[in-house]
Structure 1
């Protein structure tokens, strides 16, 4: 009897197809309409989204994308494709016949396209690996919803397993530790290490989303591995949207406070992102650099995401092998 074939579906958030207002508007319309992302009642939110946000925000966001766009397109898409190829190579080198496909929760490549590709390769069991180390309903939960929606029209449902999170996986913490130590070896060490995670509304956390707790656990584990004292690092949250209170402390406010209080050099890393994107390359590396320097800081160093580092790919490979064990 032949063995049933297993495949891997890597999933990230998504990105506009071009750094233009039109492409950004299309992307934001899908992203911000997701109830997992914004849970405002639909009639009210439809008016706000279509009457205000999609009229004015796409132009501003497009300028941000233009500042980071590369010859290979969106950094998040280019890096995600490299991760897919590197993970495929790693599994191949270990003699594992496990196809790896890439999908985005919003935009292309879609879940349907990736799923069809896996099916054409004979896959009947699918491991879904969202590239979010910390679980949030607004990210990992949205992957599950989008996958379920795509499967509604599927005539042959694959057997599935789903990786919820890996926020304290030893190889994930080790890869983060390696990246920081390598950066410090080349550039020296700052007065503070800020670990900035994408934020969520405080209301989501109050309702039971474990994301802030898992972010803090990741930050503490990394600090322990780096042998940092309590006053040498801080877990903060970035990328607020709207007027309601989000999880604190805020990255931008903290950087301003540090600059005013005499902190000379800050090193900043964003462990929630598996690939550099708008929120890291434009918001963290550019906008928040200005916030810190204008407040009195002297040096600001952004440490890149894990991207397609070999130790990051090794961690993904181990996740795959662990989750398909005895399957």
Structure 2
């Protein structure tokens, strides 16, 4: 009997992670792992341990859990539910493109499923060549590089390492920009177009950019490319950064300050999109859609429209297929 053929390669999809439940305990466990990563917070460990365990993990989980509870669905965490849909859709599209099963595993940098679990899944499927696809369009040391660290740590106990390739970023990939543009055009066709389009990206501390992190410049390049695809004038769009944490200066301009300023300046309607996120999550569904809506309306604005992330849109999945094809040449 002929042994089943090995797949030419497998794909490891990676996103940030999410608590397992919208409870203070689950959020505390998640934040303890996430915020202890030096890629995320680079404060010296002894001092940071005291701050993290003495202050943050005592008071913050309860507040964050309320935010998660406000967006939790019957399928659980939106980020996890959407990531699983992306995994299955990509697997189906790759099977159609290659005429055979291409294993696609899902892992989170923090929480479940772990890198080790995903790695065992790919290994059991006979994968010898692995493409790692972090679902971060723009590279940052605090996200993409953290995936590299976590995967390397997980592979330490592996007696047989796969050939590995990486998708470091895709911030100006034509398929990515087109999918973003399509999502905005479709939203405008149904709901009309606002006075301004705010492209809000997750922020990082300013000192990260000062020491060479390319993330902010890649975000600005994405925003400019999207504006060009939508044929917007300079006064019709703006790039800003959200989700500050702590007291130090982060990359500017700030999303919340911008919306308050616009509301007070007489901007009637603003449309908001967050191109840095491949799946809707706490930072989009709670922070952008709820908190920043209040910032804009309370400052005097009238209409606030949030345009969802690309999630499992067909054109988003097709962009992933294109990335896989581009980065696995020679493996097929």
CA–CA separation in structure 2 for the residues paired with 1:147 and 1:258: 43
Cα deviation for residue 326 of structure 1 reads 1.7
Give the unaligned 5+ runs of structure 1: none
Residue 266 (1) aligns with residue 265 (2)? no
Cα deviation for residue 4 of structure 1 reads 6.4
Structure 2 residue aligned with 1:19? 22
Which of 221, 225, 228 is residue 221 of structure 1 equivalent to? 225
Structure 1 residue aligned with 2:164? 160
Residue 54 (1) aligns with residue 54 (2)? no
Cα deviation for residue 98 of structure 1 reads 1.5
Counterpart mapping for 1:314-325 below 5 A: 314-325=318-329
Cα deviation for residue 43 of structure 1 reads 0.2
Q: Taking structure 1 as the reference length, what is the TM-score of the superposition?
A: 0.99
CA–CA separation in structure 2 for the residues paired with 1:314 and 1:88: 11
SS in 2 for 1:320: helix
Counterpart mapping for 1:109-188 below 5 A: 109-188=113-192
SS in 2 for 1:5: coil
CA–CA separation in structure 2 for the residues paired with 1:98 and 1:135: 26
Cα deviation for residue 159 of structure 1 reads 0.7
Cα deviation for residue 93 of structure 1 reads 1.3
CA–CA separation in structure 1 for the residues paired with 2:186 and 2:177: 14
Residue 233 (1) aligns with residue 252 (2)? no
Structure 1 residue aligned with 2:211? 207
Structure 2 residue aligned with 1:253? 257
Structure 1 residue aligned with 2:246? 242
CA–CA separation in structure 2 for the residues paired with 1:190 and 1:4: 48
CA–CA separation in structure 2 for the residues paired with 1:166 and 1:219: 13
Residue 193 (1) aligns with residue 197 (2)? yes
CA–CA separation in structure 2 for the residues paired with 1:128 and 1:98: 13
Cα RMSD (Å) of the superposition?
1.0
Asked if the contact 1:5/1:122 (under 8 Å) is kept, the reply is: no
CA–CA separation in structure 1 for the residues paired with 2:272 and 2:329: 36
Structure 1 residue aligned with 2:8? 5
Which of 81, 86, 109 is residue 84 of structure 2 equivalent to? 81
CA–CA separation in structure 1 for the residues paired with 2:11 and 2:191: 37
Deviations 1:79-103 (A, max 9, x none): 0000000000001112143100000
Deviations 1:32-76 (A, max 9, x none): 000000000000000000000000000000000000000000000
CA–CA separation in structure 1 for the residues paired with 2:6 and 2:80: 33
Runs of 4+ in 1 over 4 A off after TM superposition: none
SS in 2 for 1:33: coil
Cα deviation for residue 3 of structure 1 reads 6.6
SS in 1 for 2:290: helix
Structure 1 residue aligned with 2:70? 67
SS in 1 for 2:35: helix
Most deviating of 84-93 and 3-12: 3-12
Q: 1:74 to 1:3 in 2, by over 3 A?
A: closer
Number of equivalent positions:
327
Asked if the contact 1:101/1:118 (under 8 Å) is kept, the reply is: yes
Residue 280 (1) aligns with residue 284 (2)? yes
